[in-house]
């Protein structure tokens, strides 16, 4: 049985670059210029019967090799071991988006919805154009009930503005509410869930400790406001500088959530290697939230484009002790970080948002 990693999962470590050319040569016959040889024989032998039969057999052999090639390259749902120990990843197509962007729109059958000034183009989805006072968003319609996951984001930020005359950046969300426009990179303030921000403009004066563009993360239970004047510093879990604007190569961001451990990495140097940015243990995120991305421009602007979003389910082993510790929660929180108390969800809300209510296997449980 053939298994392979989901689309894009082997890109960062460069494995595909080592075996891909040889496999293509084997599948297409280019190693010994098979096509040229067959063409010369066809011109010489014409339409003789034995030649036609031999040619059909050769075509069938080539077709079989090409089918095997497509199976090796195109099976996106198969598992692939991604690290030490028993950790495998599976591409979840209902939470993923890539060209040619089928299933994006406003219809009831769409997996992804656009909001505001967001537009679908042939090579990307533009959240905002390089124009003032625009905002746009892209939201998944399907709530995610995965326990451990990894989201890979392929994006591009570019525009005509010179140094410090561009903005404002984009955000990637895993939140309880979706399609709620607002001031936080195009999304609502006091959100419930996780926000990861690629901030391209420093609002705080005399900014010396951080170099922009800057990536940061925030977990909110609905009680906190994002502080624009201080670029979210009072509520950030961590961050790093990320020079991502007007680059001539691809830029990627990965958000990994495994065993209550949040890790954010980036590939922005054109080296096809992940580089650490944020690592926070003890992050408690409920299941049943939505993935999305949004952007906003003000007096300054940029093009904010999303090329792909790929979500992988990660399967990891847990000890019995870890199973007890990693019970489902219904409000986001971070260990050793006190958040203001937020209103607890009602029992009817918990039933509506439980995995079983959406076809899952688990019954609702309330965990204080």
For the segment 215-222, the average pLDDT, to the nearest whole number, is 98
Q: Answer yes or no: is pLDDT of 13 > 70.
A: no
Instruction: State the Cα–Cα distance between residues 289 and 195, nearest whole angstrom.
Output: 12
More confident residue, 250 or 14: 250
pLDDT, tens only, 35-71? 444 444 444 445 555 445 545 554 555 555 544 444 4
Going by the DSSP 8-state scheme, the letter that residue 184 receives in this structure is B
Q: pLDDT-based confidence at 33, cuts 50/70/90?
A: very low
Neighbours of 242 (CB within 10 A): 22
Q: In the numeric block, which tokens belong to residue 219?
A: 């977990």
**187 touches 137 (CB < 8 A):** yes
Percent of the chain with pLDDT over 90: 60
**Which residues, listed in sequence order, are joined to residue 184 by a DSSP beta bridge?**
187
Which pLDDT score, from 0 to 100, does residue 144 have?
98
Which pLDDT score, from 0 to 100, does residue 162 have?
82
Q: Answer yes or no: is pLDDT of 77 > 70.
A: no
What does pLDDT average to over the chain? 79
**329 touches 192 (CB < 8 A):** no
CATH of the domain at 247: 2.60.120.200
Residue 129 falls inside a structural domain: yes
Q: Answer yes or no: is pLDDT of 31 > 50.
A: no
Residue 364 falls inside a structural domain: no
Residue 75 falls inside a structural domain: no
Q: pLDDT-based confidence at 342, cuts 50/70/90?
A: low
Give the total number of structural domains in the chain: 1
Residue 22 falls inside a structural domain: no
Residue 252's Cα: distance from chain center in Å? Answer: 9
Residue 244 falls inside a structural domain: yes
Residue 64 falls inside a structural domain: no
Residue 12 falls inside a structural domain: no
Residue 312 falls inside a structural domain: yes
For the segment 244-273, the average pLDDT, to the nearest whole number, is 96
More confident residue, 97 or 70: 97
Q: Answer yes or no: is pLDDT of 264 > 70.
A: yes
Quote the domain boundaries for residue 112. 88-339
> What value, to the nearest 5°, has the Cα angle with vertex 223 and ends 220 and 224?
65
């Amino acid at each position: 049985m053939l298994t392979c990693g989901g689309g894009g999962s082997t890109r960062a470590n460069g494995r595909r670059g080592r075996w891909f050319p040889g496999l293509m040569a084997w599948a297409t016959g280019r190693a010994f210029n098979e096509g040229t040889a067959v063409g010369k024989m066809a011109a010489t032998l014409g339409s003789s019967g034995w030649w036609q039969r031999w040619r059909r057999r050769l075509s069938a052999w080539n077709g079989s090799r090409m089918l095997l090639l497509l199976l090796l390259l195109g099976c996106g749902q198969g598992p692939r071991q991604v690290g030490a120990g028993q950790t495998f990843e599976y591409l979840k197509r209902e939470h993923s988006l890539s060209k040619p962007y089928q299933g994006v729109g406003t219809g009831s059958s769409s997996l992804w919805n656009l909001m505001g000034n967001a537009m679908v183009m042939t090579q990307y989805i533009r959240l905002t154009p390089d124009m003032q006072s625009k905002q746009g968003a892209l939201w998944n319609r399907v709530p995610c009930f995965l326990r451990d996951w990894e989201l890979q984001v392929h994006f591009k930020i570019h525009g005509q503005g010179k140094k410090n005359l561009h903005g404002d950046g984009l955000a990637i969300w895993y939140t309880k509410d979706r399609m709620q426009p607002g001031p936080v990179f195009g999304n609502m303030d006091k959100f419930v869930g996780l926000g990861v921000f690629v901030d391209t403009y420093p609002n705080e004066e005399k900014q010396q400790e951080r170099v922009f563009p800057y990536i940061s993360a925030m977990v909110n239970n609905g009680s906190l406001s994002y502080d624009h004047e201080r670029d979210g510093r009072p509520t950030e879990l961590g961050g790093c500088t990320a020079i991502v604007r007007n680059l001539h190569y691809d830029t990627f961001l990965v958000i990994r959530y495994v065993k209550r451990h949040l890790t954010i990495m980036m590939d922005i140097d054109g080296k096809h290697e992940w580089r650490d940015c944020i690592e926070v243990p003890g992050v408690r995120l409920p299941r049943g939230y939505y993935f999305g991305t949004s952007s906003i421009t003000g007096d300054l602007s940029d093009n904010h484009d999303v090329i792909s979003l790929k979500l992988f389910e990660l399967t990891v082993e847990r000890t019995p002790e870890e199973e007890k510790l990693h019970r489902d929660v219904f409000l986001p929180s971070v260990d050793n970080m006190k958040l203001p108390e937020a209103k607890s969800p009602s029992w009817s809300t918990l039933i509506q948002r439980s995995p079983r209510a959406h076809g899952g296997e688990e019954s609702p449980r309330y965990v204080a």
